[in-house]
Structure 1
Amino acid sequence: MDEAKIQELKKKAEELYGNGDYLCSEAVFAVVNEYLGQPLPPDAVRITSGFPVGIGRSGCTCGALNGAIAALGLKYGRTGPKQENEKIMALSKEVHDEFKKQFGSTCCRVLIKKFEFGSPEHLEHCIMVTGAATEMVLKKL
Structure 2
Amino acid sequence: MDKQVIIDLVRQKAEGYFQRGEFFCSESVVHTINELLGWPYDKNIVKMASAFPIGLGKSGCLCGAVSGGAMALGMAYGRIHGEPMNDKMFPISAELHNHIKDLYGSTCCRVLVKNYEFTSPERKAHCVRITGEVAAWIAEKFLEDDEIALNINERFGTEVEV
TM range (shorter): over 0.9
3-state DSSP of counterpart to 1:134: helix
Displacement, 1:140? 1.5
Give the 5 Å matches for 1:15-26.
15-26=16-27
RMSD: 1.0
Moved over 4 A (4+): none
Contact 2:78 2:85 in 1 (8 A): no
The Cα of 1:82 is off from its aligned counterpart by: 4.3
Q: CA offset at residue 80 of structure 1?
A: 2.6
8 Å CA contact 2:18–2:28 kept in 1: the answer is: yes
TM-score (norm 2): 0.84
The alignment status of 1:105 with 2:103, answered yes or no, reads no
| Cα shift at 1:84 | 2.8
Mapping of residues 1-141 of structure 1, within 5 Å: 2-141=3-142
Secondary structure at 2:88 match in 1: helix
Structure 2: state its 5+ residue gaps: 143-162
State the one-letter code of the partner of 1:96. Answer: H
- 1:85 counterpart SS class: coil
Gaps in structure 1 of 5+ consecutive residues: none
Amino acid of the structure 2 residue aligned with 1:60: C
Aligned-pair identity (%)? 41
In structure 2, how many angstroms separate the alpha carbons of the residues matched to 1:80 and 1:24?
28
Q: Tell me the amino acid that sits aligned with residue 80 of structure 1.
A: H
**Cα drift, residue 16 of structure 1:** 0.1
- Cα 1:5–1:82 change in 2 (3 A) is closer
| Structure-2 separation of matches of 1:28 and 1:38 | 13
Q: State the aligned residue count.
A: 141
